[in-house]
Structure 1
Amino acid sequence: MSQWVNYHHLLYFWMVAKEGSIAAAAKRLSVSQPTISTQLRTLEDNLGVSLFDRSGRRLALTQTGSVALRYAEDIFSLGREMVDVLHERLEGRPLRLVVGVTYVVPKLVAYRLLQPALNLGDGLHVVCHEDKFDQLLGRLARHELDLVISDAPIGPHVSVKAFNHPLGSCGVTFFGAPPLARKYKRGFPESLDRAPFLLPMQGSMVRRELDRWFDDLDIHPEIVGQFDDSALLKVFGQSGVGVFAAPSAIEAEITSQYGVQVIGRSDSIQERFYAISVERRLKHPGVLAISEAAKTKLFG
């Protein structure tokens, strides 16, 4: 078996798989059908596998062919990305990084995650969109986004072809306006039983973790508000409406920005954050900067 792939042959395979027939691929590539047939067989011989089941004029991918197609998609997608990046730099245009952030990700966490990309100093232009998880995944699938930052990984049953890249995790800190903090700090965490609480919406990963923690400790919070948007939740917390929880990694920023105080902390609740992309291996310089800084600084 050959140790190297002839990428010219691989291009013919990729085009046949996409077009569904040798005739259509030959027309698209402006070459003869015998040329494609010959090079397809050469590729199969070199790899030692059958990539197509040949029945009539149409070709059906074998199971092995489907695996090869996924790799070919990645290879040629990366090639197109390289050309785009080089053209942008040669023409003096800033390299763009289009990021989607789910509502439940705290704005301070999103800023801390994106800051290393902004600090690259290479003319990187960051575009940030905020939306619900499902909506962002749809835009990622349509290649409208380079990256989605979320507190939950993409599940195995989601039809979108994307990959999870864990950024890190941290415990949770409970905050309150000064009067609430004085009242509930003593005797934490049992003191939180019947305390007024501001919580993320049901269904979010952090809400499930909080509910589990409450059940384990037999704590029954009085829910006074539920929020999709983490920043709005903190504004209500700042006003003294209720106790709220946020990642311990941004504890100092929250106390400074919102004028609240720490009631207590728990490492039994873990907030996890993920970068989700269509790339199996991260390549965009901005995304690499985000991933590296998250693992070594923010959650290190």
Structure 2
Amino acid sequence: MRRSVAGIALALAVPFGISATDLAAPAVASFNPAGFDFWVDSSMGPIKNRIFRAADGNTNRVVYALDGLRARNDLSGWEVDTDISRVLPQWNINVVMPVGGMSSFYSDWIAPSNTNGQQRTYAWESFLTENLRWALRDRLGFNPNGNGVFGLSMGGSAALALAAYHPDQFRYAGSYSGYLNISAPGMKEGLRLALLDAGGYNIDAMWGPPWDPRWLRNDPFMFAPLLRANGTRMWIATGNGQNGPRDVIHKPIDVYHLGNAMALETIALANTRAFQLRLDSLGPTNVHFDYTPVGVHTWNYWADQVYKMLPDLSANLG
């Protein structure tokens, strides 16, 4: 019975979609004309990125912001659903927002998905740590070392993986509502359904069948010792699955979306608690955990975490 809990919760979230953008977003957030498109070639073809320059013009302080499962192909959710592209540059931080990568977990897949006509194999880890990293250095002069990376949900798990396996590039990693115990009972089954719902992707094309060692490589619970050994500064946050006054319901269907956001955050909370126990078992680790008294799987709470994390992030960049 225990094996199916996470899978059932994720499956229940699928029919109405698991995008957090269906609930109220900050009124001030929108396309930010201060940013510019930065195209970089890759094995996946040309990839668009949005760049927001630090207010003081420095090129040493750089952070990457990773999107969630339903990442769009035109703009990052961080730009259109939050105001971080306006706030972080005022802290003299250069912000890099990769665009696209729906359901990718920002990882290198083993094959194109055979369920949605995908033509090219996802290679997001290689793109972020090779193609984009060196293009930012060579064309914009950005520091390729000591960067930060943070993300929500799918992007939170990916941020920790990037820091674990590329510590020279990423010394700081933030995860908000991340799935940090992917090998937990029911998680693989639930993620299979979620990827099918978000773009029709076959999860077997990502890390192979459930027994493939790539699953363990990409599970934060399993690679936690690397983060400790690297001395990675981490900010790990999640809500408790309970909605609050900010979760405004605009129309009847939003009740379903709110229910999905509550269920997904409850899973993220369980995953994060397990990840914390794993880190605690390893000894002292350079990590801050933030559990909010309310919070569901929506942009309001993720933006809050960026602003709460910002002084710590700023102190650890460059």
Tell me the TM-score range normalised by the shorter chain: under 0.3
**TM-score when scaled to structure 2?**
0.22
| TM norm structure 1 | 0.23
Instruction: From the CA coordinates, give the structure whose radius of gyration is larger.
Output: 1
Q: Per residue, is there more helix in 1 or in 2?
A: 1
